[in-house]
Chain A
């Protein structure tokens, strides 16, 4: 890259990473002193103490990834405002999550003393096989997403600063692994809030760059109108078919309420006031962020007016080039903190959730079943080692990434939604849902989704999420009617109304 900004790009990233590390350490010291519920509850769910602002920010930062900051806006440069219109569907995600899952997950997990979503699923369906399947699917898809996040962040770092890919990866890879292992869920949530702010700042700075380079907003729009008028049409001259709008509504809109990394946040907040506050502010912020950054992708077409070939032939280069070309080096350095924050805030949340699946849902549960008592000090050491270990594995995978890495993010979203959607909905809202239905839905749905993805089979040209989610629903219903009804006493916790 010719416009690499070198040291000026490195310093803001370093300052940001050190701030995140410091914050995580501080949170850990404070929470150790105040903790009442034992190590597991503190480390994996932060003693259920998140306030409204942190709850909103951690949900958004986990959900908003480096793809939202680089891949999506790059597509928006190519396709136009139709892509921004499509990204807008994400404004419903926060109130959906909190409105559907928020209160019930909070009530049920407190009643059962659960600290992970798999805990809740295991208890509701009284099935270890289901819990093991859920842990396996969760860790697999999370690991794939984490690799994609690392790769995306490091590529961007390389493109903008001119330092090598591995340098970037090592810098923020090491930072995120350490602060997650040390800080636990609460550390992740608080650093997520910091990341969310950095993401908003990055958007604002880049907006300033694009508008000043393009001679103001209206001029930018007029340039686009003159050069590529199809960018101003909702169907983008055929590049944005209605079917794509439909499947994106499912993938990044409606079905996101059952992503396990989001649902676990419904078990970690303090009180109903925090949830209500997070719902309002979360909706404000996610709209500003997702519409803002995607629109900047399209608007950069008013500044980057050449063919795609001139920008290295990949839409993923658009945002890095826009940052490097429209901003003076020191501001460009601040702007790239945004996408890097998006990357590490997603990784940290998935890392702590993967670690909780392995430590709490597999290891500690087995020990409990065998009647072995594990000391808190052991759990503490092993949990941090597990978090660190998973992080290192993901890091190593990201050093020599597979080519298809950019597609993995959406693939994993769809896979997790297929696996967990009906299992969660059944758990909380359908009394008849039972073990047979849940296992069939999770395993059958996920296999169908992965298989149709692998062979490229589509129905009516729609993304495979449609097949996955439908098969999972049918299996849940059929399985639940064929199998025996669930345990009466346990159902009392979930359905006290009848």
Chain B
């Protein structure tokens, strides 16, 4: 009842932020794995595109595209929208 207009209390927003931070750390680990696999992992292949060894494409542009996909996923699926201003009174956050 002491919540702001979107229905979340300060406490719930902080918990949501924790969840988002955890998802972010998992995303970082995935990005590191993709970076290593698409770069070092492909460096043994003797394949070239426009004179460019495929590990260069995978390790740079590939990693970048993956990071963009991760950012889109986080922003659209994991992160929640709520009011950052907090109108509730001290001690009123119970639920």
Contact = CB atoms under 8 A, between A and B. Distances in A.
A276 B72 CA distance: 8
A104 B17 contact: yes
A24 B41 CA distance: 47
A96 B28 contact: yes
B63 A88 contact: yes
B14 A95 contact: no
23 contacts: A85-B55, A85-B60, A88-B59, A91-B64, A92-B27, A95-B67, A95-B70, A100-B25, A107-B17, A110-B86, A234-B39, A234-B59, A272-B80, A272-B81, A276-B81, A279-B71, A280-B68, A280-B71, A280-B72, A282-B71, A291-B61, A495-B14, A497-B14
A279 B75 contact: yes
A379 interface: no
Contacts of A288: 64
A287 interface: yes
B47 interface: no
Interface of B: 10-11, 13-18, 20-21, 23-25, 27-28, 31-32, 35, 39-40, 43, 50-53, 55-56, 59-61, 63-64, 67-68, 70-72, 74-76, 79-86, 93
A103 B20 contact: yes
Given A107-B13, A280-B72, 13 more contacts: A88-B60, A92-B28, A100-B21, A100-B24, A103-B17, A107-B14, A107-B84, A110-B84, A110-B85, A225-B51, A283-B67, A494-B14, A497-B14
A291 B61 CA distance: 8
Contacts of B55: 85, 234
A284 interface: yes
By Cβ-Cβ distance, the 6 closest A-B pairs, closest first, are A99-B24, A221-B51, A287-B64, A276-B75, A103-B17, A496-B11
B38 to A, nearest CB: 10
Interface of A: 81, 84-85, 88-89, 91-92, 94-96, 99-100, 102-104, 106-107, 110-111, 217-218, 221-222, 225, 232-234, 249, 254, 271-273, 275-277, 279-280, 282-284, 287-288, 291, 295, 429, 494-497
A6 B31 CA distance: 45
Nearest to A224: B51
Nearest to B82: A272
A279 B17 contact: no
Contacts of A111: 10, 86
Given A110-B84, A249-B32, A496-B10, A81 B71 contact: no
Nearest to B59: A85
In terms of DSSP, what is the predominant structure of the interface of chain A? helix
Contacts of A497: 11, 14-15, 18
B28 A496 contact: no
A100 B27 CA distance: 11
Contacts of A106: 84
Contacts of B63: 88, 91
Given A94-B71, A233-B43, A271-B84, A99 B21 contact: yes
Given A225-B51, A234-B40, A84 B16 contact: no
A96 B51 CA distance: 34
A429 B67 CA distance: 24
Contacts of B20: 99, 102-103
A232 B31 CA distance: 23
Contact of A95 (B27, B39, B81): B27
A469 to B, nearest CB: 16
Interface-centre pick from A273, A280, A291, A295 (highest chain B CB count, 10 A):
A280
A300 to B, nearest CB: 15
Contacts of A282: 71
B56 A217 contact: no
B35 A291 contact: no
B14 A104 contact: yes
A94 B20 CA distance: 14
Contact of A280 (B50, B59, B75, B83): B75
